[in-house]
Structure 1
Amino acid sequence: MLSFRCPRCSQLVFFENTTCLRCGLGLGFDTEQLTLVKFDNTTGARRCANQAVAVCNWLVPGTDTDPDALCRSCRLTRTRPSDSDETALAAFADAESAKRRVVFQLLDLGLPVESWEDRPGGLGYDLLSSNGVLVMIGHEDGIVTIDLAESDDPHREQVRQEMGEPYRTMLGHLRHETGHYYWTVLVEPTERLAGFRALFGDERADYAEAVSRHYDQGAPPGWRSEHVSAYATMHPWEDWAETFAHYLHIRDTLQTAAAFGIRIDAAEQALSADPAAHVDREPFESILDDWLPLTYALNAVNRSMGRDPLYPFVLSPAVVEKLTWVHRAIMASTANHPASA
């Protein structure tokens, strides 16, 4: 995430702000400029119709005359809880907040963000409450389904422990399931499919059988040498989604660190990412050279607070190769993105 400044007084403001707390200027997020801009009755743009229900600060272009128009992120949501379900609506707002971060990053990277409303198989989100009904987190035909119970910290922590996962967040779920969608965009219809199969495995393997085997037997011994997580061992599709999500974790955290001027002097290296650049087209090796020292420092800070490591992962050579493959696929698909010029 980039850092943002009030366009009037230059006070530091945050991605979710609707007002500058220093000078009182109204703010909104502009999806064309990918930044927070002045918002008032003279700017032409309007607040997203989900401003209240989703605590959304994104703007709708003034050219859209629909009084109930939704912003670019909220338009991607196909299903949400009813207005009468107050508990689910609170969780929905949390999920939408995380989703806006995902959508920002997709746009920032220059990836195509085509809505389910615009084409069959386009990206969409069903944000559902499992209160009294079964909700299966997953992806099918462009639609990502998320259980809003994952917004509840005790529930999510209980599931994390039951699953033996080192990391479980709503943002992570959204990145993982959105990664499944981008397999259908970046890999399946392209000449990259053969390379994917050579590295990740053959996705034509029976998925239901793979799921059953994984939950019956768990991850195979020595899985850390080939996969970023135990879940990634289940099937090539899951390996892709886990690797894609991890790539987004790395890029977002590095961008945030660079935007706030974080330096890792103990490693005799400052972060090289340019916070003013929306797309860093460096080889993945250069990104990794920034990432590893940062994780060492963040883990040390957490330990100083008596906490577990913030980044509980080990990137084996095989995992680095997969992350590099994801990086190249994204960079190839965004070569004509304006921010990459």
Structure 2
Amino acid sequence: MFRSKNILWITFAFCITTGSCEDVYRQSGTEVKMDCLGADPNGEIEWKLNDVLVLAKSKRGQERRGSSHVAQRARIERTTLKITAVKSEDSGVYTCKTDKHTLYVVSAHANPSLVLHSTDTNLNCEVPKDFKGTICWSTKDSKSCKQNKNMIVKSVTSDNAGLWTCHIKNEKGDQVFKLDVTITVVGPLNTAGEVTTYEGDPAELPCFLPAPSRLPITGGSWTHENTSDISFPALMRTGSVVKWNSTGVSADKVTFSDEPLNKHFNVTLKRVKDDDAGVYVCSLVFEGGKSLSAKLTLKVLKREGAASDNTSGGSDTTWYMPVYGVQLWVWVAVALSAVVLVGLVVITVLIHRRNKRMKVRGKKRSE
């Protein structure tokens, strides 16, 4: 304890007697300004990085660039050194006269920052190697800070989306800088889970994302786990537009939208049969080859009174086929009723005419 206090006092005394000592933290890509408090604005000024000349200015205002890698991005304004678009290699000790500035160029990023649901991402907070403080990560809702400059977030969900903050603290535990990183989660891919319909009726199979994907969708499709008899459309990307490709599709069995798609990827089965029941899988493929998928179970119910076809092992659903929104058997019943009604009207008219003729003949005979 005695030694650490003495070192702090010695350092403090050195800075007071010789000039200013300052630790400067800047995010990579930004600008930094460091003042030479002990210099005369009208006199000679010389800035160095780790004892290598960066930039010098004469009394007449003429500049002389040194051999330091940072020289081309540096300029002197009065006594202030300005460096644009700082990089990690710009970190180090900058001196001017008796002033001393230790620059720490820091950065933070998520790799990737656009993350598919249930996959991993890496959080990295980069500081110079000679930094002796601590680094930790937190979210806006977390009360604790995880002590690690590199952290893997496994199997991300929507709960992991949003702002993550890297806290940079000095040896005394004081926060000296912080960096924010945003994670965007794509997915999950959702379905209705279970769809129930009757034989002969259509069945819509829903598949959707919570929001339009910020990752380019390059493909996708529907499949039936139990059979390959149905040919579903495949997703096709043209420029920025994603649409269903109708090539080779079972048009008599599947319908779908021909409009551009961004979050809904539904298809509809026509005239569902008993053997159409089972598990269906909706999948999306994204740029880079990664994918999301979701399952849906289709249940097909028999109608009450529907006769079974014992020879084929299936059900005759033709009579329940929808025609203009009304089942076929209703149309047939109406048609038969109309035929019977017309027949009765014709018979009634014929009988009426026959009776009338017989009356006329009876009158002629009596005369």
What TM-score, normalized by structure 2, do the two folds share? 0.17
Higher RCO (Cα < 8 Å, 6 or more apart): 1
Please tell me whether Structure 1 or Structure 2 has the larger radius of gyration of its CA atoms: 2
Identify, as 1 or 2, the structure richer in strand.
Answer: 2
